[in-house]
């Protein structure tokens, strides 16, 4: 399904901005990684809210939403646990690349990382990547193609890390949350899932 008169300018512009922000976050060495990724996610969230003012109106964090979010976060954590086991068995470089991901946070207290991930980075990323970008791409191309294009872009901006394992992880996580959003059409459970999963995997129970 496609729609005529689709305005590509804001969508393309935000993808360019996201690419630049991820370049600054992952490639440039100045400042602290967790501050940069938090700023990047918050910036994209603000753009999503500005370009799509009604994005926050449908968010409801009731018990069912929280439960679904927690269960999906647990499922994704298990997927990554299996993925780490398999990848480190197959690829000799996997362990070092996974370790370098966690190494980006050196010098930042774990409780600070946890707060930033839970309250800003996780929710901010979902507001943009799924709530704005994927929603509009699904309107333009249909569910499957919108999900696929968003997943590719989400994984693609992580290329600035030059880390095969990180790019692959972004593809898996993006496909997972994008699929969840596509299937149920609700952003709130995906926000809970991303916020909880990222906090646990980076600050509570890392898979390093």
User: What secondary structure does DSSP assign to 118-155, as a single string?
Assistant: IIIIHHHHHHHIIIIIIHHHHHHH-HHHHHHHHHHHHH
Expressed as residue numbers, the domain containing 175 is 8-204
120 within domain boundaries: yes
In which band, very low, low, confident or very high, does the pLDDT at 60 lie, cut at 50, 70 and 90?
Answer: very high
2 within domain boundaries: no
Q: What is the mean pLDDT of residues 9-22?
A: 97
**Chain centroid to CA 83:** 18
1 within domain boundaries: no
Our count of domains for the chain comes to 1
Q: What is the pTM of this model?
A: 0.95
State how far the Cα of 187 lies from the Cα of 100, in Å rounded to an integer. 31
| Separation of first and last alpha carbons in the chain | 43
State how far the Cα of 157 lies from the Cα of 26, in Å rounded to an integer. 10
Q: State the pLDDT at residue 2.
A: 44
118 within domain boundaries: yes
115 within domain boundaries: yes
The percentage of the chain sitting over the pLDDT mark of 90, rounded to a whole number, equals 89
């Amino acid at each position: 399904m496609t729609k005529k008169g689709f305005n590509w300018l804001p969508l393309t512009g935000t993808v360019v901005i996201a690419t630049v922000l991820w370049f600054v976050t992952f490639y440039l060495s100045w400042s602290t990684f967790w501050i940069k990724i938090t700023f990047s996610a918050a910036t994209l969230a603000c753009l999503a809210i500005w370009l799509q003012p009604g994005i926050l109106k449908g968010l409801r964090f009731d018990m069912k939403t929280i439960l679904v979010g927690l269960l999906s976060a647990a499922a994704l954590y298990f997927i990554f646990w299996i993925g780490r086991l398999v990848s480190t068995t197959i690829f000799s470089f996997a362990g070092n690349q996974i370790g370098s991901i966690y190494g980006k946070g050196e010098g930042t207290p774990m409780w600070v990382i946890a707060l930033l991930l839970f309250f800003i980075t996780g929710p901010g990323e979902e507001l943009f990547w799924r709530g704005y970008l994927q929603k509009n791409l699904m309107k333009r191309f249909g569910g499957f193609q919108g999900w696929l294009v968003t997943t590719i872009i989400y994984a693609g901006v992580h290329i600035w890390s030059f880390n095969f394992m990180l790019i692959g992880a972004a593809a898996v996580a993006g496909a997972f949350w994008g699929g969840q959003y596509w299937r149920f059409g609700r952003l709130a459970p995906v926000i809970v899932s991303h916020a909880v999963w990222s906090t646990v995997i980076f600050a509570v129970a890392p898979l390093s």
